[in-house]
C-alpha cells in the first residue's frame, strides 16, 4: 500500500492511500485507492463495533449475575417463610402455656392471700408504631405479606415475654407471701403444751386471783395445766430457746422466742430437756411436768406473750382438746 497526494509543506500528510492486491498464481494485480476520510470512518466503525461488543458481553454477564442473585433470594425467601411458619407455631404454643400459667398464678395468689392483679396490669400492652428503619421499609416494599407476618410474630413474642415477666414477678411475690405466712404460722403458739388425756386446765388467765401458796390476790398471767409428774411438756410453736434454767417463783423454766413478736414461757417443770440457743419445732419435748418453784402440786404454768405483753393462752390453743 502506498500513499499519495502530500502537500509538500511541513510534515507530509497523505490525502489517500493506494492498496494493491497481488493474488497467488500470477493473475493480475488489483489496485484500490482509499481516501483518508474513508480510513478514518473505518477506524471509527471498528472502534464502535468493539465497544458495542464489549457492552453486549458485559450485559450478558450482568444478566447472569442478576439471575444467580434472584435464585439465591428466592431460596432465602423460601427458607425464611418456612422458618417463620415454625416461629408462628411456637409462639402459638407458648401463648397457650402462658395462658395456663396465668390461671395457675391466679390460684397461687389466692392461696397466698394476695389480691388478684388488675386487668390493665395483666394486659401489659405493647403500644406505639413500628420503628421506621430503612431495612424494614425495604422489607415491606419487597414482600408486604411476609413482612406483615414477620412483624406480627415479633409483636406477639414481645407481648408474651412481657406477660412472662409479669407472671414471674407475681408468682415470686406470692411465694414470698406463702413463705411469710408459713413462717408466721409456725411461729404462732397453737397447740396444748401438755397433751396427756388425764391433764386439764386447773387455773385460767386472770388479772387477779388468790395465789394458792402466797394466799393473796395477784395477777395470773397464764394458765395452769395439771398433769402427773414426768408428763412431757411440748413446744407450742417453732422457735429458739432463750432461757432454760431456774427462776424465782417459777422454778425450772423454759422460755422460747418464736419470732414475729411471739414468746412462750413454761414454768414449774420437774426437768428441762433443752438448752439456751437451741432451735425447737412445734411438738418437740422441752421438759417434763413437775412442781418446782411456788407450786403445791405437779402442773405446768404456761404463758403466751405478744410483743412483751402477756395474753390469754386459751386464745392460742387450736387443737380443741382442752377441758376444764
* CATH number, residue 246: 2.70.70.10
Kindly state whether residues 33 and 131 are assigned to the same domain.
no
Q: Supply the range of the domain harboring residue 7.
A: 2-55
pLDDT value for 135: 47
Kindly state whether residues 227 and 285 are assigned to the same domain.
yes
- Quick one: which of 237, 235, 308 has its CA closest to 272? 235
Q: Is the pLDDT of residue 7 over 80?
A: no
| Higher-scoring residue by pLDDT: 17, 290 | 290
In a domain, residue 128? The reply is: yes
Q: Is the pLDDT of residue 259 over 80?
A: yes
| Higher-scoring residue by pLDDT: 176, 92 | 176
pLDDT value for 41: 76
Confidence of residue 12 (pLDDT cuts 50, 70, 90): low
In a domain, residue 127? The reply is: yes
Kindly state whether residues 306 and 212 are assigned to the same domain.
yes
Q: Is the pLDDT of residue 120 over 60?
A: yes
What nine digits make up the cell of 268?
414449774
Confidence of residue 8 (pLDDT cuts 50, 70, 90): very low
In a domain, residue 149? The reply is: yes
Kindly state whether residues 159 and 208 are assigned to the same domain.
no
Distances (CA, A) of 143 to 78, 80, 102, 156, 168: 12, 12, 36, 20, 37
**Number of compact structural domains in the chain:** 3
In a domain, residue 281? The reply is: yes
CA–CA gap between residue 168 and residue 113 (Å, rounded) = 17
Q: Is the pLDDT of residue 89 over 60?
A: yes
Q: Is the pLDDT of residue 128 over 60?
A: no
In a domain, residue 131? The reply is: yes
- For the segment 23-50, what is each residue's pLDDT rounded down to a tens digit? 666 566 677 676 767 667 777 777 777 6
Instruction: Give 20's strand partners.
Output: 31
Q: Is the pLDDT of residue 104 over 70?
A: yes
pLDDT value for 10: 46
pLDDT value for 42: 73
> Does pTM top 0.85 for this prediction?
no
In a domain, residue 175? The reply is: yes
List the end-to-end C-alpha distance of the chain, in Å, as a whole number: 149
86's CB contacts (< 8 A; 6+ apart) are: none
- For the segment 129-155, what is each residue's pLDDT rounded down to a tens digit? 454 444 455 555 556 666 667 767 777
pLDDT value for 239: 96
- For the segment 220-244, what is each residue's pLDDT rounded down to a tens digit? 899 999 999 999 999 999 999 999 9
Kindly state whether residues 174 and 222 are assigned to the same domain.
no
Q: Is the pLDDT of residue 76 over 50?
A: yes
CA–CA gap between residue 195 and residue 197 (Å, rounded) = 6
In a domain, residue 83? The reply is: no
The domain boundary, picked from 136, 165, 187, lies at: 187
pLDDT value for 132: 47
Amino acid at each position: 500500500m502506498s500513499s499519495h497526494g502530500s502537500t509538500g509543506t511541513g510534515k507530509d500528510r497523505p490525502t489517500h492511500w493506494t492498496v494493491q492486491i497481488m493474488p497467488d498464481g500470477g493473475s493480475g494485480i488489483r489496485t484500490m485507492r482509499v481516501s483518508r476520510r474513508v480510513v478514518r470512518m473505518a477506524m471509527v466503525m471498528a472502534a464502535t463495533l468493539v465497544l458495542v461488543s464489549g457492552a453486549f458481553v458485559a450485559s450478558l454477564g450482568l444478566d447472569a449475575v442478576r439471575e444467580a442473585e434472584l435464585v439465591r433470594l428466592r431460596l432465602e425467601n423460601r427458607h425464611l417463610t418456612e422458618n417463620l411458619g415454625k416461629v408462628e407455631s411456637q409462639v402459638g404454643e407458648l401463648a397457650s402455656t402462658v395462658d395456663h400459667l396465668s390461671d395457675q398464678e391466679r390460684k397461687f395468689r389466692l392461696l397466698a392471700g394476695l389480691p388478684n392483679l388488675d386487668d390493665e396490669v395483666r394486659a401489659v400492652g405493647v403500644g406505639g408504631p413500628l420503628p421506621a428503619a430503612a431495612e424494614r421499609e425495604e422489607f415491606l416494599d419487597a414482600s408486604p405479606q411476609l413482612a406483615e407476618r414477620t412483624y406480627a410474630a415479633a409483636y406477639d413474642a414481645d407481648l408474651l415475654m412481657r406477660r412472662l415477666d409479669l407472671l414471674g414477678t407475681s408468682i415470686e411475690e406470692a411465694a414470698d407471701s406463702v413463705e411469710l405466712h408459713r413462717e408466721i404460722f409456725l411461729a404462732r403458739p397453737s397447740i396444748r403444751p401438755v397433751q396427756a388425756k388425764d391433764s386439764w386446765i386447773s387455773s385460767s388467765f386472770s388479772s387477779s386471783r388468790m395465789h394458792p401458796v402466797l394466799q393473796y390476790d395477784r395477777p395470773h398471767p397464764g394458765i395452769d395445766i395439771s398433769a402427773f409428774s414426768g408428763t412431757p411438756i411440748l413446744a407450742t410453736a417453732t422457735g429458739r430457746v432463750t432461757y432454760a434454767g431456774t427462776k424465782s417463783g417459777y422454778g425450772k423454766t423454759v422460755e422460747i422466742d418464736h419470732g414475729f413478736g411471739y414468746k412462750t414461757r413454761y414454768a414449774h417443770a420437774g426437768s428441762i430437756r433443752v438448752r439456751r440457743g437451741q432451735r425447737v419445732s412445734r411438738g418437740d419435748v422441752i421438759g417434763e411436768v413437775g412442781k418446782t418453784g411456788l407450786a403445791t402440786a405437779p402442773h405446768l404454768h404456761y404463758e403466751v406473750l405478744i410483743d412483751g405483753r402477756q395474753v390469754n393462752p386459751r386464745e392460742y390453743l387450736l387443737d380443741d382438746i382442752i377441758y376444764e
